[in-house]
Amino acid sequence: MNPIPYGRQYIDQDDIDAVINTLTSDYLTQGPKVKEFEDRFAEYIGVKYAVAVNNATSGLHLAVLSLGLKEEERVITTPITFAASANCIRYAGGEVWFADIDPDTYLLSLESTKKLIESKPKGFFKGIIPVDFAGLPVDLEAFKALAKEHDLWIIEDACHAPGGYFTDSKGNKQMCGNGNYADIGIFSFHPVKHIACGEGGMITTNSEELYKKLSLLRTHGITKDNMEENHGGWYYEMQELGFNYRLTDIQSALGITQLAKNEAGVKRRNEISNNYKKAFKNKIKHQDLPEGTYNAHHLFIIEVADRKGLYDFLRTHNIFAQIHYIPVHTLPYYKTIGYGHANLDHSENYYSKCISLPMYPSLSNEEQAFVIDKILGYFKA
Ligand SMILES: *Cc1c(COP(=O)(O)O)cnc(C)c1O
């Protein structure tokens, strides 16, 4: 059996052709493919505006800046996420506050977030960054109600969830990142995520004002629109201290063909998930799916007591399971700035048991059967 990783990109001939066509076109960057990718992505998600960026971490950085986060202002996120969900708050000089996860969905707990907010005076927090962890959509309608009550913004870190949705109280499907219950959504196009651009990211919003700010900040704060003066055709103004966080045309061309495959990819991920669930029923705990949600399944996670044993055993069979994630508050950087003693029991208990199994559209049934066989075999032995 070939090595089986926990995730991998799927590239076929039309992806290759799209990149080659762009390489021989007039534009390698800042050409028509960027806008086309943004438009198609916005249409797929059902959101008004999409801003392509060079990776999701840049997207998160611009998101907090465009929402006006300032030094020492406080934002809540989950410890069970990739570090970037929290780091963006630090980039702006803000303070990260962690609330605990729900022990069954592994998502940021609404109750824990509410408790944390209500334990502090009004205005103490500025925003919340919930994460559609593993591809499971957060119930943003509930978070939005809480945010509204306390005058907070929401950035949905949807890096794991293009194509996922939850059903709101009116029975409407709400695609992850569609901005109906969050100010901004963030997606990643790193190859382990659903859509591979090499590196890449997308920011989504329904706010024209945020869209304009995000577009300006993405490209140095430089614009030729709404200028104070105009000295001639060459003239531009730098109106803000921005960055070069642009995505290239080459990457956007790849993003367009990759996006077209996402629907089928998520469907296949759900087949794989159903196979795991059937095999592990009443034997092994896995991420629980609230009713009315469609999991985009970036990951398939189980919890086992002997996690290290299983991880090492699978490696001897060329199965490269992975751990998602080391709780962010326990990483040395966050410990150093004072988070070592945070009281986040569900997150730490989850981390002691979690393991992510192979999950990607091109995983064959035969390969998956091999993985399942090894896991069940390990626990029987
Ligand atoms: C991958 C990931 C990011 C960062 O994405 P990049 O495109 O690699 O910068 C942020 N948040 C989450 C939850 C992620 O999984």
Give the integer Cα–Cα distance in Å for 9 and 339.
Answer: 35
Task: Provide the pLDDT for residue 338.
Answer: 86
- What atom in ligand 1 is closest to the CA of residue 193? 1
- What atom in ligand 1 is closest to the CA of residue 199? 7
Across 68-77, 254-263, 372-381, least confident range: 372-381
Residues 33, 193, 261, 374: which is the catalytic one?
193
Query: What digits encode the pLDDT tens for the residues 80-123?
Result: 999 999 999 999 999 999 999 999 999 999 999 999 999 999 99
Query: What digits encode the pLDDT tens for the residues 228-274?
Result: 999 999 999 999 999 999 999 999 999 999 999 999 999 999 999 99
Q: Is 238 helix (H, G, I), strand (E, B) or coil?
A: strand
Q: Which of 223, 243, 261 is the last residue of a domain?
A: 261
Q: Average pLDDT for residues 162-174, to the nearest whole number?
A: 97
Within 10 angstroms of residue 325's Cβ, the number of other Cβ atoms is 21
Domain of 289 in residue numbering reads as: 263-380
Domain count, the chain: 2
193 is catalytic: yes
For residue 340, is pLDDT > 80?
Answer: no
23 — phi, psi (to 5°)? Answer: -60, -30
pLDDT band for position 377 (50/70/90)?
A: very high
Return the residue matching tokens 């996690």.
Answer: 307
- Mean pLDDT across the chain, nearest whole number? 97
Q: Average pLDDT for residues 296-307, to the nearest whole number?
A: 97
pLDDT band for position 341 (50/70/90)?
A: low
Q: Is 201 in the pocket of ligand 1 (CB under 6 A)?
A: yes
Q: Say which CATH number the domain at 190 has.
A: 3.40.640.10
> Percent of the chain, pLDDT > 70?
99
Same domain, 298 and 339: yes
Same domain, 223 and 279: no
Same domain, 146 and 269: no
Query: What digits encode the pLDDT tens for the residues 124-154?
Result: 999 999 999 999 999 999 999 999 999 999 9
- How many alpha carbons lie under 13 Å from residue 334 in its C-beta half-sphere? 23
Give the integer Cα–Cα distance in Å for 250 and 30.
Answer: 10
Q: Which of 261, 290, 312 is the last residue of a domain?
A: 261
Same domain, 131 and 252: yes
Query: What digits encode the pLDDT tens for the residues 194-217?
Result: 999 999 999 999 999 999 999 999
CA–centroid distance, 227 to ligand 1, in Å, is 35
pLDDT band for position 325 (50/70/90)?
A: very high
pLDDT band for position 342 (50/70/90)?
A: confident
**Between the CA of residue 339 and those of 77, 97, 99, 248, what are the distances in Å?**
13, 9, 12, 38
Same domain, 276 and 250: no
Task: Provide the pLDDT for residue 381.
Answer: 62
Give the integer Cα–Cα distance in Å for 91 and 235.
Answer: 31
Q: Is 55 in the pocket of ligand 1 (CB under 6 A)?
A: yes
Same domain, 204 and 94: yes
Q: Say which CATH number the domain at 276 has.
A: 3.90.1150.10
Same domain, 254 and 309: no
